[in-house]
Amino acid sequence: MAELKISVAYDKERNIVRPENAVTGVNYHCPACGELLIFRRGQIKVPHFAHKQTEACNQETIVHQSAKLLIQKAIEDWKVGKSEPPVLERKCRVCDRNVEQNLPEKVDYASLEHRLPEGFIVDIGLIAHGNVEAAIEVRVTHEVDEAKAQQISIPFIEVDGNEILENPSRWKPTIDFFKPLTCTKCRLDFQNFRKKTLRIAKQTGVDLPTSFYRYASILCWQCNKEILVFTWPNHKMYSQELPIGQPPPKTLCFRFSKAVGRKYCMNTCIFCNAIQGDRFLHIEPEGPFLGLCYDEDTCGKDSLESFQEDLIKLASYADYIGDLERED
């Protein structure tokens, strides 16, 4: 019968022990089934625990249980000052760069096999101020069930159990439904974008929308002055109608376009009244909305959250275009 490799064990006080810290002659137990373990330490072999495979225990259940215990211990050690906070390796929602994020200070402890109000049991509940604020699911061979993932009512991540065994304090989510993360550079890009568009709004007398209409800045192709341009959720190229119930910025108007051969709702220059065509704004490589709309159908959803996220994306794309122009 195959021998199972055990990465961590319980001692008699149910403390978690790694093989490198184990002592010969002390009884250790499997974290998954409780069976007494064999501890081996030699001059050649790396110290390790083991026991024979049984119907009640297999390698998958051992990895799964061990990873959960190590995550719980990493949080416990952090909260009592024995270690630094666990680090999550996540993606910036805007630029997709890898970002390191410490587990928030508000987390008090980790609850194993935590039952949520809707009945689902998550591997680990992160508890803050007495409430479960988020969850961690440990993957060994199977990812989180799709039905469960859709119905979990709190933010959650999935982590690879084998990676946790290697480093319990560094988590690399394979599924990430925590609050979206914006990196420092993208936040700075947005601050600069906001300052610039506010300045242009003041100079032109064109108000910046606080919802619905997304905005960016360009140089008018005809008079070369800085102006604001606008788009909206579910914008379609050469649209012949404005969204109902959404008063448009004053530089959005219906005009006839020779290039298109008909009237459509278009952006115009506040200074010289020149048409700022949809093709340039949405499709051309230097168009300000290319970073947001890659087809004719979408520019985000009609919600305040989506509005704010889209502006951050527009700011990041504006900085990218600016970098290209500076290189030229």
Domains of the chain with bracketed CATH:
3-57 (no CATH), 62-176 (3.90.1570), 184-327 (no CATH)
> Is 71:151 a contact under the CB 8 Å cutoff?
no
- Structure confidence at residue 44 (pLDDT): 67
Q: Which two tokens stand for residue 62?
A: 């051992």
The residue ranking higher by pLDDT, 211 or 46, is 211
Single-letter amino acid code for the residue at 194: R
- Structure confidence at residue 256 (pLDDT): 94
- Structure confidence at residue 296 (pLDDT): 44
The residue ranking higher by pLDDT, 209 or 6, is 209
Percent of the chain with pLDDT over 70: 94
Average pLDDT over residues 304-327: 82
- Structure confidence at residue 295 (pLDDT): 45
| Burial class of 297 by CB neighbour count within 10 A (0 to 12, 13 to 18, 19+) | exposed
Measured CA to CA, the distance from residue 114 to residue 93 in angstroms comes to 29
Phi, psi (rounded to 5 degrees) for 36 = -65, 135
- SS3 labels along 210-276: CCCCEEEEEECCCCCCEEEEEECCCCCCCCCCCCCCCCCCCCEEEEEECCCCEEEEEEECCCCCCEE
Average pLDDT over residues 247-267: 94
Average pLDDT over residues 42-67: 84
Tell which residue, 45, 47, 51, 86, has the closest CA to residue 67.
86
Q: Report whether pLDDT(135) > 90.
A: yes
Give pLDDT tens digits for 86-127.
999 999 988 889 999 999 999 999 999 999 988 889 999 999
- Structure confidence at residue 323 (pLDDT): 64
